[in-house]
Chain A
């Protein structure tokens, strides 16, 4: 079920941002579009409704396959051993292959298996859904949008269509989620269109720590990664929470990413893009 926020007067130019949200995968997904005058060929409310419907359908379809909260999902049947991976659907096998590839690339810091051995692709499926939704929005002809799924963000274009003005994403403070620690420019002319944050503040220990990666006291309670694509940002944020500073260095050295990592005592590590000029 979609909910639309009330329209507001245009603050900049002739565009006004309008958002619609829906619930899926245990969180809230929001799509924001800059609205202009339909007479001038700009998207209007109907386009936002249609675009959000496409995104929602895509998320619902993936959730039906991959949710471990649905006893009848394919993922649940795999977890119970009723279904073996070689006999699973193509989307399931592809998601597993991608997750396994990420396990190799992160040297085990990201893993698609829980400590009890149950396959859990939830660490990759939200990013996958966001990526697919972005592809669909572009296929629909939408060039300027911001998609936020439970704190993981993918943008395209600009909040002011036709300009190079970037979107700005705030990074939440893990100690006080009503405040922001900093902001990061996405889209526009920049290299990074996606930003994802991992931590255990909201959902408990949903990140499986890999071996001795995270030392006591040196571990991060929240890690934010900006990258060109959402899956890279999402997976690396998860991997750095699990793998600690060594994984942070590995990610910064091997991917074109910006990283902001926060320890329990509030101290922070940041790559140059998050450092003040």
Chain B
């Protein structure tokens, strides 16, 4: 369950990164990058110095443009390949589960790994990120009896059906 939530968050962050790529490469005159394999592996944000080469207007030529994520990138650059590669950290995003930051690893233009860098709540404890529903066996369910509930939730009952309902019994007994 945790993995699904992580993947969802990672994809969201990856989306941000891809937007970053798009933005960066449009400067260089390349129209399609995203997750395709036309971008080179050079990454510039970490200050590797190679970015200048790619951004000198060789638009459309293979293997010379740079791309960066929307935040820092941390090396492991594909040297001479014609594909985007590297690891990229997404922005820290505030979710209702707390701050979430993911790192993706890209090779040959494809995301090969997603790691959660930050997945804790304010107490510093690991939290359950997924709220997905799973099968529930009736024998495992938390038992409840009408004696220890104060009210009953059910599909809307008509006034007539109310008379024979558990809720009517509870109302009549005050508890």
A residues neighboring B (CB under 8 Å): 5-8, 11, 16-19, 21, 23, 26-28, 30, 32, 126, 146, 148, 150-153, 155, 159, 167-172, 174, 177-178, 180-184, 195-203, 206, 222, 224, 248-249, 252-253, 256-257, 259-261, 266-272, 274-276
For residue B168, give the distance in angstroms from its CB to the closest CB of chain A. 8
Q: Are B155 and A32 in contact (CB under 8 A)?
A: no
Least CB separation from B137: chain A residue: A268
- Known: A168-B144, A182-B144, A270-B134; 19 extra A-B contacts, CB below 8 A, are A7-B174, A8-B173, A8-B175, A26-B159, A27-B162, A28-B162, A30-B167, A126-B156, A148-B151, A169-B150, A169-B152, A171-B153, A182-B141, A197-B153, A201-B155, A202-B155, A202-B157, A224-B153, A274-B141
Assuming the A-B contacts A183-B144, A248-B133, are A146 and B151 also in contact, with contact meaning beta carbons closer than 8 angstroms in the complex? yes
Name the A residues within 8 Å of B171 (CB-CB): 5, 19, 21, 30, 32
Please report B residues at the A interface, Cβ cutoff 8 Å: 1, 8, 96, 128, 130-138, 140-146, 148-159, 161-162, 165-168, 170-175
What residue of chain B has the Cβ atom nearest to residue A11's Cβ?
B175
A151 touching B158 in the complex, CB below 8 Å, given contacts A5-B173, A256-B96: no
- A203 neighbours in B (Cβ, 8 Å): 155-156, 158
Neighbour of B152 across the interface among A11, A16, A170, A272, CB < 8 A: A170
Chain A residues contacting B136 (CB-CB under 8 Å) are: 260, 268-270, 274-275
B141: shortest Cβ distance to chain A, in Å?
A: 5
Residue of B136, B143, B162, B172 most packed against chain A (CB within 10 A): B136
User: Which residues of chain A have C-beta atoms less than 8 A from B138's C-beta?
Assistant: 181, 266, 268
In the complex, which of the residues B141, B154, B156, B166 has the most CB atoms of chain A within 10 Å of its own CB atom?
A: B154
Beta-carbon contact of A17 and B174 below 8 Å: yes
Contact check, B174 vs A177: say whether CB atoms are below 8 A apart: no
Name the CB-closest residue of B to A221.
B155
The answer to whether A269 and B149 touch (CB under 8 A), given A178-B166, A203-B156, A276-B141, is no
The answer to whether B156 and A172 have CB atoms under 8 Å apart is no
Q: Look across to chain B and name the residue whose beta carbon is closest to the beta carbon of A8.
A: B174
Contacts of A21 in B (CB 8 A): 171
Once the chains bind, are A151 and B159 in contact (CB under 8 Å)? Answer: no
Is B141's CB under 8 angstroms from A181's CB? Answer: yes
Residue contact A150 to B157, C-beta cutoff 8 Å: yes
Alpha-carbon distance between A97 and B24 when the two chains are bound, in angstroms: 40
